[in-house]
Amino acid sequence: MSEQTQWLDRDERRAWRGYVAMSEMLEARLGQDLRKAGLSSADYTVLVLLSEAPERRLGLGELGAEAQWSKSRVSHQIRRMQERELVERTEDADDPRRAHAELTERGAEALRAAAPLHVAGVRRYFLDHLTREQQTQLVEIARSVLPHLGPAPLPPELREGKGGEEA
Amino acid sequence: MSEQTQWLDRDERRAWRGYVAMSEMLEARLGQDLRKAGLSSADYTVLVLLSEAPERRLGLGELGAEAQWSKSRVSHQIRRMQERELVERTEDADDPRRAHAELTERGAEALRAAAPLHVAGVRRYFLDHLTREQQTQLVEIARSVLPHLGPAPLPPELREGKGGEEA
DNA sequence: AGGTGATGGTTGATACGTCAACCTGATCGG
DNA sequence: CCGATCAGGTTGACGTATCAACCATCACCT
């Protein structure tokens, strides 16, 4: 049974380590910027999702699904954000088990304050250094890889469009 | 002063969100696999760096530099690994302030056990789904972006070679 | 109605990463 | 030789992520 491990060759290692180095640094930088604005990356994600949702509220389940988070993570995250009054918890009319998170004015404010800085960071650290062609290549790469990373459907942005799904 | 924020257009959002989704899922999957083998991603990084170092030992400073970690992070990480006897701390002959981490037999063992699984994951979740051309594109993307992410020199893998540095 | 499993969420323990403060020993200017 | 500063590292507190265990409620079936 025990197949010999196929180690990475030079080119593969280049691709992998390059990718890892980039993604770790990127996350570090963007995280730092957000933290200076008083938010964690997770906070920011939640605020964006809520702000994009109709009524600025979302069931914890949907939230978890969109962010690809475990329910435990969602629960902790929302509790902490609630303590800081960035979100409010509201009950479900139909099913008392269900909980919703709703953006507070304070939360919306925090997002308005952080978003421009964050977007500027995304440009400065990342997008500014890619050609349009490289952006397209990256989208194709994500479309190739994502389906193999779990049961989650592709995020809406990558769904339609001209890119080829694999057989 | 206050330039209007340049929000992301459709293509930029595709590239960015696609990238983020991919990188978060990838990290989650690989982290899970490693955790099942009893190691965190950080543990694995340290073990690899030590195993690649001459004498299987590295000054904490060098270790931090290679992994791009803060000294605090290095310190905590090494302490925890030492408690599990994955590494050993040794002193510097010249400068008593300096500390070194050295791979223990137990650490080497853990790495031997985890490495094939990890590499298999890198293939299964990532490399297998990229064409050689996409691998090359990714390397170029990393080479374009990394220099703008901090003072750190490019990792050795990406340094030489035919890729074009930006002006 | 009464069980049974699925669904939605919470909780606690533990590990990890960050920051700020701190300590120790080297180094250097005078 | 003394004080200042720097380099290398440690520490503690805090926020965050993960897993496993748990609890409540719903949906279904008989």
- State pLDDT tens for residues B95-104: 999 999 999 9
Distance CA B90, CA B73 (A): 18
Q: Give the number of other Cβ atoms within 10 Å of residue B58's Cβ.
A: 22
Min distance A126 CA to chain B CA atoms (Å)? 6
> Going by C-beta distance under 8 Å and a sequence separation of 6 or more, which residues neighbour residue A119?
B5, B6, B7, B8
Mutating which of B73, B157, B159, B165 best tests the A interface, going by the most A Cβ atoms within 10 A?
B157
What are the residues facing A90 on neighbouring strands? Answer: A100
Lookup: nucleotide whose C1' is closest to B36 CA: D19
- Beta strands of B13-68 (E only): which ranges? 57-59
Residue A92 distance to chain B (closest CA, Å): 29
> pLDDT at position A160, please?
67
> Whats the size of chain A, residue-wise?
167
Amino acid identity of residue B61, one-letter, is: G
Residue B138 Cα distances to A111, B23, B31, B82, B85, angstroms? 32, 13, 22, 36, 37
Interface test with A, best of B8, B23, B112, B124 (most A CBs within 10 A): B23
A31-35, A107-111, A158-162, B69-73: the lowest-pLDDT one: A158-162
Per the CB < 8 A criterion, the answer to whether B119 and A6 are in contact is yes
Predicted local confidence at residue A9, as pLDDT: 95
From chain B residues 65-84, the ones with a CB under 8 A of any chain A CB are 68
> Helix/strand/coil (H, E, C) string of B117-142?
HHHHHHHHHCHHHCCHHHHHHHHHHH
Q: Provide the pLDDT for residue A165.
A: 52
Low-confidence residues in chain B, pLDDT < 50? 163-164, 166-167
Q: What is the pLDDT of residue B167?
A: 43
What pLDDT score does B161 carry?
57
What's the pLDDT at B41?
98
The distance (Å) linking the CA of A20 with the C1' of D26 is 44
Q: Which residue of A has its CA nearest to B15?
A: A139
The chain-wide mean pLDDT, for chain A, equals: 93
Percent of chain A residues past pLDDT 70, beyond the cut: 94
Given this model, what pLDDT does residue A156 score?
A: 76
- Residue B113 touches partner A, C-beta closer than 8 Å: no
- Residues B78 and B86: their CA atoms lie apart, in Å, by 9
Give the residue-averaged pLDDT of A105-110: 98
Which of A86-100, A106-120, B120-134, B138-152 shows the lowest mean pLDDT across its residues?
Answer: B138-152
Three-state secondary structure readout of chain A: CCCCCCCCCHHHHHHHHHHHHHHHHHHHHHHHHHHHCCCCHHHHHHHHHHHHCHHHEEEHHHHHHHHCCCHHHHHHHHHHHHHCCCEEEEECCCCCCCEEEEECHHHHHHHHHHHHHHHHHHHHHCHHHCCHHHHHHHHHHHHHHHHHCCCCCCCHHHHCCCCCCCC
Q: Is B9 left (phi over 0), alpha (psi -120 to 50) or beta?
A: beta
The per-residue pLDDT for B133 is: 97
Encoded tokens for A5: 């491990």
* DSSP β-bridge partners for residue A58: A101
pLDDT higher than threshold 90 for residue A69? yes
pLDDT value at residue B162:
53
Question: What is the C-alpha to C-alpha distance for residues A58 and B61, in angstroms, rounded to an integer?
Answer: 46
Q: How far apart are CA B87 and CA B108, in angstroms?
A: 9
Comparing A103-107, A116-120, A159-163, B121-125, the range with the smallest average pLDDT is A159-163
Count the helices and strands in chain B (H runs, E runs): 7, 3
Q: Is residue A62 over pLDDT 50? A: yes
CA distance B81 to B64: 15
Q: Is B151 on the interface with A (CB under 8 A)?
A: no
> What value, to the nearest 5°, has the Cα angle with vertex A39 and ends A33 and A45?
100
Give the three-class secondary structure for B89: strand
pLDDT of residue B150: 78
B7 CA: distance to closest CA in chain A (Å) = 7
Nearest-Cα residue of chain B relative to residue A131:
B141
Specify the pLDDT at position A44. Answer: 98
